[in-house]
Amino acid sequence: MERKAYYAEYIYYQGEMHRDSYLLVQGDRIHGISTHADEEGNTGYTIEHFHNSLIIPGFINTHTHLPMVLFRGMADDLALMDWLKNHIWPAESKWLSEEFAITATELAAAEMIKSGTTTCNDMYFHAGTVASVLKRTGMRAVIGVGVLDFATKFGKNADDYIERAAEFYLKYEKDKLISPALCPHAPYTVKPENFKKCIDFCAKHDVLLCTHLSESPHENAESIQKHGRTPAQLMNDMGALDIKTNLAHCVHINDEEIALFAEKGVNVSHCIQSNMKLGSGFAPVKKMLDACVNVSIGTDGAASNNDLDMIGEMNSIALVHKGLNFDATALSAETVLKMATVNGAKTLDLKRVGELKRGNQADFIVLSFDEPHMTPVFNPLSHLVYSAKSTDITATYVAGQCLMKDRQLKTLDEEKIKDDARRWALKIKNN
Ligand SMILES: [Zn+2]
């Protein structure tokens, strides 16, 4: 088994900062941390040095729609429903294909690996293609098959989508890097009768149910008018809060619903930049964290963000919630890093990632303090959240495998992917 020791000035290990240490990795797992890895080499560890750097767990993006990267910047400055109905859904029905999904997922993976994301939770069409591309890149992912009430080229009706999900589940249930999930789009696109079938599927196979919830005030008003209940109440009445769930957004939830989420152990994926860009409002994150709701971080699709950059999300979250709460102590840098890592692992029910500790998978990233905006260093976690750019990430490892070093991708051809993506954009623009 390959033994590697990674030296850095700072290593954030098991929730504590260690100085001038070595992260010890054996095969795909973390073996421990040491202040000396025997530079003579007789312990069998190959040593790599990351000078003036911080090693942290890789980021876990708990809500995204990867292939949408090819719609990045295509329709901006629009309200959610206008954006979805008049721009995104028509573009999806016109352009989505296997070939589109391959280029798009490669582009998304390149962006994620270069910005320090080691695990993502994707919900979109072409789940099989997304899974095989991500597996080839070496990334870890929880991938959900989408379910809708209406027909698209991916299914005739909810039963048909769920049938495809069952095939996907069988293919990936034992995979080391890819975990299957089910993703009914939202309570406003999947009626209760079909939503119930999704809940039953997830309960039967013990897989994660991911959905969008209470993203806009319009969604809540429509739910009350149609069902006499808010989306969260509807989810609870259907039994969705009694299984493993990842609820994206939860912008418009009240104190009672927060208490319910805490009681039921619900996981919320906070997508601050997408919510701000679509003018949806601000999720009550401080209240949720204070009530012990598990809140993690999602970028959402790149068409509503417009990137997959978790450092950018952490920065927005730390700053906006201080401002909203008139409280500079709200959501510290360390709290936000935990949301981006260990809370994400909990959300996705991944037992051995999210934290650097003995026995966990060796999913970690390296942040350099070399640039002027990262100099000097008093508190490395403060720099990560308040000063760093995604380009300060210099290396990314998943299960011990190096996916990027010195900003060079190891499992993807970046130039070819960007050329392919530009060709798709030309086609989309000219049609
Ligand atoms: Zn979304």
Per-residue pLDDT of the chain in tens (431 residues, 90 and over written 9): 899 999 999 999 999 999 999 999 999 999 999 998 765 555 788 999 999 999 999 999 999 999 999 999 999 999 888 988 999 989 998 999 999 999 999 999 999 999 999 999 999 989 999 999 999 999 999 999 999 999 988 899 999 999 999 999 999 999 999 999 999 999 999 999 999 999 999 999 999 999 999 999 999 999 999 999 999 999 999 999 999 999 999 999 999 999 999 999 999 999 999 999 999 999 999 999 999 999 999 999 999 999 999 999 999 999 999 999 999 999 999 999 999 999 999 999 999 999 999 999 999 999 999 999 999 999 999 999 999 999 999 999 999 999 999 999 999 999 999 999 999 999 998 87
In sequence order, which residues have a C-beta less than 8 Å from that of residue 414 and are 6 or more positions away?
A: 110
The Cα–Cα gap between 347 and 296 comes to: 7
The Cα–Cα gap between 32 and 155 comes to: 47
Query: Are 378 and 155 contacting, i.e. CB atoms less than 8 angstroms apart?
Result: no
Q: How far is the CA of 214 from the centre of ligand 1 (A)?
A: 12
Query: Are 350 and 142 contacting, i.e. CB atoms less than 8 angstroms apart?
Result: yes
The Cα–Cα gap between 296 and 318 comes to: 13
The Cα–Cα gap between 217 and 253 comes to: 10
Tokens of 63: 């809500």
Q: How far is the CA of 239 from the centre of ligand 1 (A)?
A: 22
Q: How far is the CA of 388 from the centre of ligand 1 (A)?
A: 25
Q: How far is the CA of 300 from the centre of ligand 1 (A)?
A: 5
Tally of residues, the chain: 431
Q: How far is the CA of 39 from the centre of ligand 1 (A)?
A: 48
Q: How far is CA 390 from CA 91, 385, 396, in A?
A: 29, 11, 12
Tell me, what's the pLDDT at 205? Answer: 96
Give DSSP secondary structure letters for 224-293. Answer: HHHHSS-HHHHHHHHTGGGS-EEEEE--S--HHHHHHHHHHT-EEEE-HHHHHHTT-----HHHHHHTT-
Residue type, position 340, single letter: A
Is the domain 3-57+360-399 a CATH 3.30.420.40 member? no
Written out in words, the top-level CATH class of the domain with range 59-347 is alpha beta
Number of H helices, E strands in the chain: 16, 16
Tell me, what's the pLDDT at 110? Answer: 98
Q: How far is the CA of 246 from the centre of ligand 1 (A)?
A: 11
Q: How far is the CA of 258 from the centre of ligand 1 (A)?
A: 20
Q: How far is the CA of 301 from the centre of ligand 1 (A)?
A: 6
Q: How far is CA 318 from its chain centroid?
A: 17
Q: How far is the CA of 274 from the centre of ligand 1 (A)?
A: 8
| Parallel/antiparallel/unpaired status of strands 46-57 and 364-368 | antiparallel
Is the alpha carbon torsion for 26, 28, 33, 37 positive or negative? Answer: positive
In sequence order, which residues have a C-beta less than 8 Å from that of residue 219 and are 6 or more positions away?
A: 186, 187, 188, 231, 252
Q: How far is the CA of 185 from the centre of ligand 1 (A)?
A: 8
| Parallel/antiparallel/unpaired status of strands 364-368 and 393-398 | antiparallel
The Cα–Cα gap between 174 and 380 comes to: 37
Query: Are 39 and 47 contacting, i.e. CB atoms less than 8 angstroms apart?
Result: yes
Residue type, position 35, single letter: T
Return the ∠ at Cα 230 (arms to 226 and 231), rounded to 5°: 90
Q: How far is the CA of 123 from the centre of ligand 1 (A)?
A: 8
- For residue 48, the 8-state DSSP code is E
Q: How far is the CA of 271 from the centre of ligand 1 (A)?
A: 8
Residue position matching structure tokens 């048909």: 160
Q: How far is the CA of 186 from the centre of ligand 1 (A)?
A: 9
Tell me, what's the pLDDT at 42? Answer: 59
Q: How far is the CA of 63 from the centre of ligand 1 (A)?
A: 6
Q: How far is the CA of 57 from the centre of ligand 1 (A)?
A: 24
- Domain boundaries of the chain, sorted by first residue: 3-57+360-399, 59-347
The Cα–Cα gap between 113 and 123 comes to: 18
Tell me, what's the pLDDT at 124? Answer: 92
Cis, bond preceding 306 (omega within 30 deg of 0): yes
Tokens of 234: 């509807």
Q: How far is the CA of 68 from the centre of ligand 1 (A)?
A: 10
Residue position matching structure tokens 């069409």: 125
Q: How far is the CA of 337 from the centre of ligand 1 (A)?
A: 21
Tell me, what's the pLDDT at 107? Answer: 98
Closest CA to 59 of 358, 354, 390: 354
